[in-house]
Chain A
């Protein structure tokens, strides 16, 4: 039972490049989330998916898109990366309540 997995673990992009962060969970959870973590700012919600087929914006959605491919997978796409998107990205999932299970994170640097 792997829980929540994220790929890649590390990534360096140049400004303007695009990439997709992958997240998968094997716990049959309905809801999935993408957060970014920046020093002194805690975790901020980018997008979430309450259930398969639905996605909603969080606190900081600008510059990102998401896809809930199926119940297991929730991807985050940066179409044109900017230095302000340098951060650590976490994916999380929850069955129906609010206790969230987190992946190990992706460290993204945009130069």
Chain B
């Protein structure tokens, strides 16, 4: 969706390297959701952010929502092959009750 820009579209990193994926909107994000998708499978929920400046971590993955609530980043520390997949951000944008708008996804490849 053009309402939610995700970058980069693809990322290839060496195992052990850190990486960041960004999700940006021109509208205020009332809720930001990060999902991971493995090929041929559905989306797995990772984290939800709602408050400006909020930061959450799970294992080696950290997600942040900026103070203006228009940009979120997903940071992976010391990447592993198990981190490979497609990462999608989904957002509740103003005026879209009960609906999520999704970014186009970031394809992450981690080379052993």
Q: Which of A42, A45, A59, A105 contacts B88 (CB 8 A)?
A: A42
Cross-chain contact B92 with A98 (CB below 8 angstroms)? yes
Counting contact residues on chain B (CB < 8 A from A), the size range is 20 to 34
Q: Measured between alpha carbons, how far is A44 from B88 in the docked complex, in Å?
A: 12
Encoded as 1 (CB less than 8 Å from any B CB) or 0, chain A from 20 to 62 comes to 0000000000010001000011111100101000000011000
Check A100 for interface membership: any CB of B closer than 8 A.
Answer: yes
Check B48 for interface membership: any CB of A closer than 8 A.
Answer: yes
Residue from the set B44, B48, B100, B105 with the largest chain A CB neighbour count within 10 Å: B100
Interface of A with B (CB < 8 Å)? 4, 31, 35, 40-45, 48, 50, 58-59, 90, 92, 98-105
8 residue pairs bridging A and B, Cβ less than 8 Å apart = A41-B104, A42-B102, A43-B102, A44-B1, A98-B48, A102-B42, A102-B44, A103-B42
